[in-house]
Amino acid sequence: MFNRRPLLAAAALLAWLPLSAMAADYPAKPIRIVVPYAAGGSTDTLARLVAERLGKQLGQPVVVDNRPGASEQIAITHVAKSAPDGYTLLLSTLSGLAVNPGLYPKLPYDVQKDLVPIVLAATVPSVVVVHSSVPVKTMAELGTYLKGKPGSVSYASAGAGTPSHLGMEYYKRANGVDPVHVPYKGGAPALQEVMGGQVQLMIALVPEAMPMVKGGRLRALAVTSNKRLASYPDLPTVAESGGQDLDVTFWYGFVAPTGTPPAIVAKLNQTINQILAEKDVQAKLAEMNLDVVGGAPAQLTALIKSDAARWKKVIDDAGIKVD
């Protein structure tokens, strides 16, 4: 009987050899980092900070390609369908990699099948803020206030299904309160409405909200992380402020198309980790209130899995639906 095993082994070896050679020569041409948001935001700034140094480390230009729209779906789909050769990377976030799979019934990409993690780059917590007319200064007082005004207090979000929306829905169920959701197209317009008093409450990203707090236009109650921020040491955590634990941590991770040679993924992981460890990079990210993370690809894999399950439950429990 004809034995096919030697032929299969030979075919596998021939398929592996080009990938091995590709990894050894990598990079031999410019690299693109696709960003699912417009230029100027935190994701874009982080991508450009890494891109500049990655280019110097690897000896090839690294350019940022902004492809905003559809809650990261445009950028992620583009990268998922790109050649798995290490020349097209993606800097995505909690929204695209962990929230979208539970939010949209049909996505044009599958995070688990189409993308391979490189490194968890950074995290940024959110802060609970209220309009100055709301007579509360702690999370305990907020809970009491909301329970005394069922259905008559509104909260803003950056849009349906965004972390600011899901975080508040999680808070509502954990604390037995029911503020009314008012979605906006982005965090900035939502915060403007809270400042104007049209909406009373919001869970907002620290870099977006704290300048308004420092300007006296909003009151910050607590940070949604398990430890205080070095940049705002007087701001308590939700638990310290008398509320239930509330972790609404936004994060940024580098990924590549599935099939990218492990040697290339390892090289990118090592190099980006070195960049994130540079003091000037950490200082610039600290100015943005981003906490550097780094680590092995498996760390990002685990975070995607755990956050996807966590936020899917919130989405299902709250009956959140988007088109």
The domain limits of the chain are 30-122+250-318, 125-223
Please provide the size of the chain in residues: 323
CA dihedral 31, 37, 43, 45 (to 10 degrees): 70
Question: Can you read off the two tokens belonging to residue 97?
Answer: 């990699």
pLDDT at site 2: 41
pLDDT at site 12: 46
CA–CA separation, 223 vs 215, rounded Å?
18
Give the pLDDT confidence of 215-230 residue by residue, as tens digits.
Answer: 999 999 999 998 898 8
Spans in the chain with pLDDT lower than 70: 1-22, 323
Fold (topology level) of 125-223: D-Maltodextrin-Binding Protein; domain 2 (3.40.190)
* pTM score, whole prediction: 0.88
* Alpha-carbon distance values, 51 to 40, 90, 91, 244 (Å): 15, 11, 11, 39
pLDDT at site 20: 54
Q: Does domain 30-122+250-318 have CATH number 3.40.190.150?
A: yes
CA–CA separation, 198 vs 232, rounded Å?
27
pLDDT at site 245: 75
Give the pLDDT confidence of 227-283 residue by residue, as tens digits.
Answer: 898 889 999 999 999 988 788 999 999 999 999 999 999 999 999 999 999 999 999
The DSSP element (H or E) to which 262 belongs, if any, is helix 262-276
pLDDT at site 18: 54
- Fold matches, 30-122+250-318 and 125-223: yes
* CA diameter of the chain: 85
Q: What is the DSSP letter of 101?
A: H
